[in-house]
Amino acid sequence: MKCVVIGIGGVGGYVASVLCKNDEDVTLVARGGRKEALRHKGLVLHSAYMGEHVFHPAVTDDAAIIGMADIVFVCVKNYSLVEALRSVEPCIGEKTLVVPVMNGLDHAAVTAEILSHGIVVDSVMYITSLFNDDYSITESGGFARMGVSSKTAGAAERVRALLHHPGEMTCFIPEDMQAAAWSKYILNCAYNVITAYYKANIADLSQGERLTEFRDLIDEAYAVAVADGVSLAADLPQSIYEKIMGPRNDKNSTSSMARDVMSGRRTEVETFSGYLVRLAHKLHVPVPVSERFYEALKHTGV
């Protein structure tokens, strides 16, 4: 299958690695130093799950030369989604599958609104990965799971069949995609936001006021989801809390948003905080802790 991946960071780099390992026809879209590193060193993966690999797919900064693709994975930050879609639009035809793989809740809707062609497949990704200074990819969680869903019959199954490889990635079709997306989003609304605010790791949150605030952020996001009609288990907030604060987690870990703040890069504060606060106001759900953190973070890295 002719595959295109744009956004070769922790998530996009891992998705591309799975495709390369299974001998798909892969082209990476990248610019600047990342493009040069990928061309000269290859796509370098350090993975607790898949192992050590170096792949050498095609790399370009001009998607117009690729030709029509069978599938396009868009793995950029949410604030870059529209620009990324415009850049890969020349290789998207009526039957091209377009899979935005990113955080948040509205990326599939935005993708469908922007593109005049293609079949959009929504996704939710579970992985702990990042890109390094040399543009290599490190996956440290020892797992990679992606849920996919589409309104077009058979589209999600095609993506699942392409990506589901035991020992590399588990790809599945959730019974309730909205619930799956919100479950991850609630975690991110708490974990990414509080670690970014305090420039902290998990250990820094483990006691006192910060621990209370972390739980408050979880509970507020959960309340917004329920008010929006999402079907979620009653014990989900406790499950999320234990997932982050449990003894099996690396207490030195932090979030992608915290790393962006500490590096002076643009953050996804509007994805993890602004979107939630605005939806809460629309639904008349009180979210005082989320509001306070959003006000403090909304100008970071802009």
pLDDT at 301 over 70: no
Nearest to 93 by CA among 66, 119, 123, 122: 119
Q: What is the pLDDT of residue 252?
A: 82
Q: What is the pLDDT of residue 53?
A: 98
Q: pLDDT by residue (tens digit) across 126-145? A: 999 999 999 999 999 899 99
pLDDT at 251 over 90: no
Q: What is the mean pLDDT of residues 21-42?
A: 98
Q: What is the pLDDT of residue 284?
A: 98
What average pLDDT does the structure give for the chain? 95
Spatial separation of the C-alpha atoms in residues 174 and 163, rounded to whole Å: 15
Q: Pick one of 3.30.200.20, 3.40.50.720, 3.80.10.10, 3.40.50.300 as the CATH number of 2-174.
A: 3.40.50.720
Q: What is the pLDDT of residue 11?
A: 97
Name 47's Cβ contacts closer than 8 Å, sequence gap at least 6: 14, 17, 53, 137, 138, 139
Q: Please give the residue that has the higher pLDDT: either 141 or 89.
A: 89
Q: What is the pLDDT of residue 162?
A: 98
Spatial separation of the C-alpha atoms in residues 5 and 26, rounded to whole Å: 8
Q: pLDDT by residue (tens digit) across 171-225? A: 999 999 999 999 999 999 999 999 999 999 999 998 889 999 999 999 999 999 9
> What region, left, alpha or beta, does residue 229 occupy, with left being phi > 0 and alpha being psi -120 to 50 degrees?
left
Backbone angles phi, psi at 266, to 5 degrees: -60, 145
Q: pLDDT by residue (tens digit) across 146-174? A: 999 999 999 999 999 999 999 999 999 99
Q: In the block, which residue shows the tokens 């009653």?
A: 234
Binning pLDDT at 50, 70 and 90, where does residue 246 land? confident
- Percentage of residues of the chain with pLDDT beyond 70: 99
Q: Please give the residue that has the higher pLDDT: either 228 or 254.
A: 228
Backbone angles phi, psi at 246, to 5 degrees: -65, 160
| Domain spans of the chain, in order of start | 2-174, 178-297
Task: Classify residue 111 as exposed, middle or buried by CB count within 10 Å of its CB (0-12, 13-18, 19+).
Answer: buried
Q: What is the pLDDT of residue 113?
A: 96
Q: What is the pLDDT of residue 277?
A: 98
Fold of 178-297: N-(1-d-carboxylethyl)-l-norvaline Dehydrogenase; domain 2 (1.10.1040)
pLDDT at 290 over 70: yes
